[in-house]
Structure formats: C-alpha cells, structure tokens
Structure 1
Amino acid sequence: AGGRLEIGVEQQPGRLLLYWQDSAPGISDQQLTRIFERFYRAEGSRNRASGGSGLGLAICHNIVEAHNGKIRAEHSPLGGVRITVEFATPIKNKAP
C-alpha cells in the first residue's frame, strides 16, 4: 500500500528494453542473484498460504530466452527492484 510502480520502454540502437521497477521494500544482493530460480521466494512474507510458489520469474526467464531475449534484475532507483527485458531489434518473426 502506498508504493510506486513504474513501467517503461526504451529503444536504443539495436535493442528494445522493457522495464518494471517499484519502490521499497527492496531485496538484498544475495536475493537478486537467485530471483530467477524455480521455487525461490525472496520475500519472507510470501508463503504458500498467502500466495506465490516462486515460479513466476523463472517462467518469465524461460519465455524471454525462448524469444532470444535477456532478462535481468537489479536494485531500482525507487528503492525496490527493477526487472529489465531486452530484445535485439529489429525483432524478426520466424516463418511457421
């Protein structure tokens, strides 16, 4: 409650970046290194009873890589976490 979420798109030479970043609370450096692991939950308050199995970002990682993209997590300037998805441009459709 009372937090902030920023969603953005940046087009740079040869790549397109999509990002989501939020305000505090953030996560530790150690948690950032594990955030895309299956079944890993960084927030101590998140448990199976309140929701979350630790699969969401692992699934995102697999989808982004399947489309030849990259995904990364870092500390947000807003105090929370920033997730960035990067795709090379131009994005080409594969023939069926």
Structure 2
Amino acid sequence: MTRKPEAVSLTNGSKYIITSLGNKDSAIVTRGTFRGYTVIGNVDGVCIELDGSHKGLRGKVRVIPSHMILAIDIIDAARPTPQVTEESIERYYR
C-alpha cells in the first residue's frame, strides 16, 4: 500500500534556502529560519531570520514578497504547532 504524501507547509523554526528574484539579471539566495508571514500594503511576504552565511546580517529578518519567490529548499522542517481555534477557547471561557 502506498502512503499518501503529506502536505508541505512552512512552519515556524524550520530552516530554508529561498531563491527569489533580484534585479534584472540575478537572483537573491536567502538562508535562514522561518519566522512567519507578514503583509505590507496588499503584498504578502515570508519572514526569514538570516543565518551566519549572511555575515553582518545574521539574526536580522528579511521579508521576501511571495510573488518574488522562485524556489524554496527545505533544509530542516520543524513540526507544526497545534492551532488553538475559537471553538476550543469558548469551552473554557464563558
């Protein structure tokens, strides 16, 4: 019996290498840890905390607009944390 492939999602704490569009003739390679999503105006983006390969930028957060992403390499996938829904909160707080 073949296993159904698991859905892939970006999870907090996972390490990725993201290749995105740079200027006209180049791409930007970002290495680091996923910290979440953000929205600036009407553009959504991926937040990556840069690792040591970025020299003086280590620890800074780079926002990559999602429409600029060419490829995402998953280096180390963290387990997703369970999401708390409003339904589960209502049971305990009335």
TM bin, normalised by shorter chain, reads under 0.3
Task: Tell which structure's C-alpha radius of gyration is larger.
Answer: 2
TM-score (norm 2): 0.23
| Greater RCO (Cα-Cα under 8 Å, separation 6 or more) | 1
Normalized per residue, the structure richer in strand is 2
TM norm structure 1: 0.23
